[in-house]
Chains A and B, each alone.
Chain A
Amino acid sequence: MSLTNDYIKQRLVEKFGEALTSFEESFDVLTFTAPAALNLKVMQFLYDEEELQFRFLTDLTAVHYPHLPDAELAVVYHLYNFREKVRLRMKVFVPVAAPQVFTATKLFESANWMERETYDFFGVDFVGHPNLKRILNVDEMTYFPMRKEFPLEDQSRIDKDDEMFGR
C-alpha cells in the first residue's frame, strides 16, 4: 500500500487549494467536501492522475440534513482505486431549493442509474444526465420520499384500528 490518505490529501490540496474542505478520516477512508461546481473536475483529476487512478465509482447516493441551512442535501461519492485498493469518499453539499450537481455519467457509465436513483429519492438534479427520470418509484410521484420531512408512520398511533395485527 503505497498510496496513503495523506498523499491523496496533499495532491488534492496542491491542485485545488482552499476549494476542498472538511478533510477527515473515518474508519480509514479519507473524506472531504467539494463545492458543487468542482465535483467533476475533482473526479476527473482523481481519475487521470497516474498515482491516484480512482477509476471505479463504487457507490453514489445522497443524504438529507434538514438542519444545515443551504446545504441540506449531500451527494456522496465512493471512489475506488483497484490497484492500491484504496477507498475515497467525496461529498458535495447543495441547498434543497436548488439541488443542481453535475452528472458523473461522462466519467462512469455506472453513475447513470445511481444518479437516477438519487434523483428519485432525494430530488437531486444531475445537470447533463442523459435520462434523468424516476427509476424505482412510480413516474407519477410528485415528491422525493427519502427526504427527512417524510417520516415513516408512527407505530404508536391509535387512530388506526387493525384487528388482525393488534394496532
Chain B
Amino acid sequence: MEQQHIKLPQGAIEKQTNTLNLGPTHPATHGVFQNILEMDGERVVNTESTVGYIHRAFEKIAERRPYYQVTPLTDRLNYCSAPINNMGWHLTVEKLLGIQTPKRVDYLRVIIMELARITDHLICNGVVGVDTGAFTGFLYLMQYRELVYEIYEEVCGSRLTTNIGRIGGFERNFTPVAFQKIEKFLAEYPKALKEFEALMTRNRIFVERTTGVGPISAERAMSYGFTGPNLRAAGLDYDVRVAHPYSSYEDFDFNIPVGSTGDCYDRFLVRNAEMWESLSIIRQAMDKLKDLPEDVYHAEVPAYYLPEKQDVYTKMEALIYHFKIIMGESDILPGELYNAVEGANGELGFYLISDGGRSPYRLHFRRPCFIYYQAYPELVKGAMLSDAIICLSSLNLIAGELDA
C-alpha cells in the first residue's frame, strides 16, 4: 500500500503515517487473514484486508463429488458450528429432491443446530472478553463447549468436523446417553452463562472498551450484506429461522434479540441473548420429542438414505440401493435452488444447480462472514489499534468460512 501524507495546516510539522501488518498469523486475529493497517500514531487511518490464505476450492471439488460426499466439505466452512453447515446442506438437497422429513428428525436437528449455535457464540463472546483483557470468561465457557462436543461425539462419533446426519435424517438414532448428556448440558450451562454475564455485561472495563467501538447503522449494515447477530445488533430483526422457517422452526417459540447501535457491545449482548433463546429452543424440542415415536430418525427414502448394514447382506433391494448410493448413481432431479439456514454468524446459503448428474453442476456457498468482513475498514476507521482488534473478534470471523 502506498504511504499517504495527511494534509496539515500550513506551518505544522508534517506527519507521516506508518504501515502496520496485522496478521496473517497473529494470535489476536483468531484466524489466518491479514490486515495492512495504515496508522497515524495509534489511530487507524485505512485498512486493507487480504483473505484467501486457506482457500481450498470447495466449490470446485463439489462439482466432482456425489451429493452425500459434499457434507464433509461443509464441515470446514464455519468449523466452530459445523453441524449447522451439515444440516444446511442436507436441507438443501432434501428440498431439491422433495424429501419430507419426520417431525422427530426435524426436532433432533433443531437440538443439534442450537447446540452448535451456543458453542459458536460462546467462543466468539469469550474471545471478545480475551481481547479486552478478561481471560477468565473464555476459560469458564470453554469447559461447557466440551460438554457439547461430547454430545456430538455420542451422536455421530466426531467432535469438530462433525459430518453429522445424512440426506434424509441421521445416520443412527440418538442413544439414551446422548439425551442424558443434553440434559446435563441444559442443567449446567445456564449457571455458567449467568456467571459469565455477571462477569462481563456490567463490568465497567468491558463496557468502556466495547461501547461505541466498530458501530454500524442498520442502513449501512444492510448495504454491506450483514446477516445474523451482526445485523441484528444494528437493529434489524432478520433471522432466517423466522423469515423462512426450515426444519420445523415454526413450531418453536423464541425471541429475536436486537441491538440498536451495532457496536461491539451490542453484538456481544445479542449473542448472549441468543444463547438463552437457543437454550429455550432446545428445552422445547426435548419436550416435543417426548410425544413422538422413539425409533424414527430418518425419512423413508431408500433411494437416498443408506440402508442398515444388516439388510445389505440379506436383502436384495437394500443391496441395490446401497450400491447405487455409494457409487453416486441415485437419480437426482435437475433443478436450481437457493436455500439458506441461519448459521451462527449469519445467513448461510447454498445455491445449487443440478443437471441431473451424479454431482452438482454448480454449488455456491453464500458465506456470511466473507460478505460482511468487507465492512471492516469502515468499522475501524479512526479507531485505536486495540479497538480494531476487538472489532475483528466481535465480528466473529471464521477463516475457514471466509475462504471456503
Contacts and interface: CB of A to CB of B under 8 A. Distances in A.
Interface string A87-114: 1010000000000000000001110111
A58 B220 contact: no
Contacts of A35: none
B286 interface: no
B336 A31 contact: yes
User: Interface size class for chain A?
Assistant: 35 or more
B370 A113 contact: yes
Nearest to A78: B338
A58 B222 CA distance: 10
Interface string A60-72: 0101100000000
B371 interface: yes
Interface string B32-46: 000000000000000
B55 interface: yes
B221 to A, nearest CB: 10
Given A63-B362, A145-B60, A85 B243 contact: yes
A110 B223 contact: yes
B60 A114 contact: no
B302 to A, nearest CB: 24
A158 interface: no
A106 to B, nearest CB: 11
A137 interface: yes
Contacts of A165: none
A22 to B, nearest CB: 12
Given A27-B95, A59-B364, A78-B338, A109 B374 contact: yes
Query: For B63, B220, B222, B243, which residue has the most chain A Cβ atoms within 10 angstroms?
Result: B222
A143 to B, nearest CB: 13
Given A136-B51, A152-B60, A152-B64, A58 B347 contact: yes
A26 interface: yes
Interface string A13-57: 000000000000011010100000000000000000000000111
A26 B351 CA distance: 12
A126 B64 CA distance: 28
Contact of B364 (A61, A89, A145): A61
B133 interface: no
B72 to A, nearest CB: 16
B307 interface: no
A78 B351 contact: yes
A25 to B, nearest CB: 11
A146 B238 CA distance: 32
A26 B362 CA distance: 16
A12 interface: no
A8 interface: no
Most buried by A among B336, B366, B370, B375: B336
A53 B362 CA distance: 29
B52 A137 contact: yes
A7 interface: no
Contact of B222 (A29, A55, A137): A55
A121 B403 CA distance: 13
Contacts of B339: 27
A65 to B, nearest CB: 9
A31 B338 CA distance: 11
B59 A146 contact: yes
Contacts of B347: 58
Given A58-B366, A135-B51, A110 B338 contact: no
B360 to A, nearest CB: 11
Nearest to B370: A113
Interface in B327-342: 335-340
A117 B370 CA distance: 10
B349 interface: yes
Nearest to A117: B370
B8 interface: no
A109 B11 CA distance: 39
A146 B351 contact: no
B224 interface: yes
B14 to A, nearest CB: 28
10 contacts: A57-B225, A58-B225, A58-B347, A63-B353, A78-B338, A78-B349, A110-B223, A110-B371, A113-B371, A145-B60
Interface of B: 51-52, 55, 57, 59-61, 63-64, 95, 220, 222-225, 236, 238, 243-244, 335-340, 347, 349, 351, 353, 361-362, 364, 366, 370-375, 403-404
Interface of A: 26-27, 29, 31, 55-59, 61, 63-64, 76, 78, 82, 85, 87, 89, 108-110, 112-114, 117, 121, 135-138, 145-146, 150-152, 155
Given A146-B59, A152-B61, 8 more contacts: A57-B225, A59-B351, A109-B220, A109-B223, A110-B223, A110-B224, A137-B55, A152-B63
* Nearest 9 pairs of A and B residues by beta carbon: A110-B225, A136-B52, A27-B337, A136-B55, A61-B364, A109-B223, A59-B366, A113-B374, A152-B64
